[in-house]
Amino acid sequence: MLEVGRAQKTIFVARYLRDRDLQREIQESLNVVEGWDGANDVLFFGKSGELATNRLDQQELSILALHLLRAALVYVNTLVIQDMLADPEWAGVLTDEDRRALTPLFWIHIQPYGEVRLNMSRRPQLSAPASPESESAAA
């Protein structure tokens, strides 16, 4: 079985070295995984991202909380991107290639350390306010 495994690895390496499309596909997949890992590092920053307990229920809770935070981050970023794309000013700036490269997995606006001030008396406005013209057109 070891020899079969070595033969499979050799076949894969030979295919990888000659096939540029396979190299590109693997590189793109690695970039996506690195993006997720980077987001995890920002969101799960306590104790250098290490799980602080050996209890499986606590580890599961930590990982589920991380998934929830990541989903919330992607959701809010998607709304931000949609608002940006709806702005006519950006319509002429972004090419089709630029649009294909957009991803909701960015965290430059996240502050894992320091003070975060929340105004709990109102909801954050994620989209531009409707103009009077668009409201009358919708009616």
Q: What is the number of domains present in the chain? A: 1
Over residues 90-132, the pLDDT tens digits come to 877 888 888 888 888 888 888 777 777 777 887 777 665 555 5
**Which residue, among 73, 93, 85, has the nearest Cα to 128 in the 3D structure?**
85
Indicate whether 99 belongs to any domain: yes
Number of H helices, E strands in the chain: 6, 0
Please give the residue range of the domain that contains residue 91. Answer: 2-110
Indicate whether 131 belongs to any domain: no
CB 28 within 8 A of CB 22: no
**pTM greater than the 0.95 cutoff:** no
Indicate whether 115 belongs to any domain: no
Indicate whether 43 belongs to any domain: yes
With a CB cutoff of 8 Å and minimum separation 6, the contacts of 51 are 58, 59, 62
Indicate whether 123 belongs to any domain: no
